[in-house]
């Protein structure tokens, strides 16, 4: 496949200055056009599906609007669903620098309680832990303040697994 040149966009005007600072400190001075577009769509409250090549910045695409909302409204909660525990763990390692940049007083991820703004999990944990125990362990707080559900690797949810996951989301 022939190489395609990247299309860049300036940081969206509505992106918080603190997020722009984080990106610049991380060596990112522009977003890919699909990242900027997804940010704008998500901030406008639209449902968004992003399909791009591996290592094209999808994680940052969905992470920016979520983090911005949590920084603006600390009560906001998000759940990121990955098809496997290994992928959830890998993604947590990838977003950890962003979490560390803002500090635990601003945003947390990975802890399994109502104080955690971002939860990385898989469908089985949603089915066995969240839904049957929604009155326990702070899950009511999480679910009542849930603004974002990010489903990564959407193409893997097919067949019986996909049917199960569809019912879970409903």
User: What is the maximal distance between C-alpha atoms in the chain?
Assistant: 53
d(CA 51, CA 53): 7
Nearest to 4 by CA among 32, 41, 36: 32
d(CA 76, CA 78): 7
pLDDT digits (tens, 9 = 90+) for 41-50: 999 999 999 9
Residue 114 pLDDT more than 70?
A: no
Beta strands 31-32 and 8-9, pairing class: antiparallel
DSSP result, 135-165 = TSTTHHHHHHTEEEEEE-SGGG--HHHHHHH
pLDDT digits (tens, 9 = 90+) for 35-87: 999 999 999 999 999 988 888 889 999 999 999 999 999 999 999 888 888 88
């Amino acid at each position: 496949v022939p190489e395609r040149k990247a299309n860049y966009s300036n940081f969206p005007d509505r992106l918080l200055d603190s997020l722009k600072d984080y990106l610049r400190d991380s060596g990112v001075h522009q977003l890919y056009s699909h990242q900027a577009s997804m940010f704008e769509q998500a901030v406008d409250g639209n449902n968004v599906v992003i399909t791009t090549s591996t290592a094209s910045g999808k994680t940052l695409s969905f992470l920016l609007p979520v983090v911005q909302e949590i920084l603006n409204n600390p009560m906001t909660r998000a759940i990121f669903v990955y098809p496997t525990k290994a992928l959830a763990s890998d993604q947590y390692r990838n977003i950890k620098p962003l979490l560390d940049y803002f500090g635990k007083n601003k945003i947390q991820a990975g802890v399994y309680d109502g104080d955690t703004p971002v939860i990385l999990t898989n469908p089985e944990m949603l089915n066995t832990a969240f839904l049957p125990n929604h009155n326990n362990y702070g899950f009511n707080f999480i679910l009542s303040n849930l603004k974002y559900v990010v489903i990564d690797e959407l193409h893997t949810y097919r067949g019986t697994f996909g049917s199960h996951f569809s019912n879970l989301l409903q």
